[in-house]
Amino acid sequence: MERFAVIGAGAWGTALAMVARRAGRSVILQAHEADVADEINSNHQNPYLPGVTLDPAIEATTDMTTAIQGVDAAILVAPSQFLRPVTASMSVSGPFKAPVLICAKGIENGTCKLMTEVVAETLPAAPQAVLSGPTFAIEVAKEIPSAVTLAAEDGELAEQFIQAFGTPRFRPYRSEDPIGAEVGGAVKNVLAIACGIVQGRGMGDNTRAALITRGLAEIVRLGLAKGAQAETLMGLCGIGDLTLTCNALQSRNFSLGVALGQGRPLAEILGERKAVTEGVFSARAVIELAGRLGVDMPICTAVNAIVNHGRDIDRMIESLLARPFTKEL
């Protein structure tokens, strides 16, 4: 793997393009917005990643056919709710057969499908792997040491991506459980909103620690029901990503929860943001999938009620606290 197309030129896609360049690979970024592509090509800057100068060798285009022509692999970083149409456009000129690395975190609304399931339908000829873990784009871009899970059912494919993409300061760890990597990455965004809400309400560190721990139990229950391995969710893509996202204002989901907890309207918060806050969109799909699989997820259910049905925050908190006592595991 020598030439990569990164599909999605937001903060995370741009940071991953920088990782690939540092690993010595050729990279082209596919951007949705023409002004973003122009800024990358002309000034080696991306407004989604302010203060970071890109390697001049990183090119950008808005044209999908140009982006994927002749590449050895594609890194898929479009937001989860847009991944289906974006990847479908990759096959307009014929089947796309190169390996893909799925970096979008979420569950598709309506179908309740994981991103690997979506891509299996839109790019059936493309071997696939998943990258997930505790990473903020700005820190990866600045070469602050980070570690991730890189998962594929085909262990050789995972190893190929690791050898092509890994660097001393961006360390991928191999897994053969892509389902676990996906479930961990999707559900933690919803739980981060919950942790932000209690932070905004001034409820303290005890409460946030309890939410993180009980939230992990919800992730594990859903993961097992979907076919994941529990030990995967004890790693970087599970407890690692959950811990990071639920404790830092850099997290779009946590910071949105903080603002909600402080009493600000959801529409106002989202209106101020250029980047997608995945947890708002994933909450509905997570709960629908849990219902189909018969999995109890009370914290995620409360978040969904707040962000998608306008339920009162204090009443939802009290409803969680009033639940019957039960076994921890």
3-state SS assignment for residue 28 = strand
Contact criterion met (CB below 8 Å) for 30 and 6: yes
Backbone angles phi, psi at 191, to 5 degrees: -65, -30
Contact criterion met (CB below 8 Å) for 304 and 287: yes
Whole-number Å distance between alpha carbons of 268 and 209: 28
Whole-number Å distance between alpha carbons of 309 and 311: 6
Strand partners, 6: 29, 75
Whole-number Å distance between alpha carbons of 58 and 78: 18
For tokens 């961006």, name the residue: 170
Six-digit token string for 11: 């903060």
Whole-number Å distance between alpha carbons of 217 and 189: 15
Q: Are strands 3-7 and 73-76 parallel, antiparallel or unpaired?
A: parallel
C-alpha distances in Å from residue 97, one per residue of 23, 71, 94, 125, 142:
23, 10, 9, 5, 32
188 is a catalytic site residue: yes
Pick the closest to residue 15 from 133, 109, 186 (CA basis).
133
Whole-number Å distance between alpha carbons of 6 and 108: 21
Whole-number Å distance between alpha carbons of 104 and 80: 5
Six-digit token string for 180: 């676990």
- Among residues 97, 188, 226, 274, the one annotated as catalytic is 188
Active site residues: 188
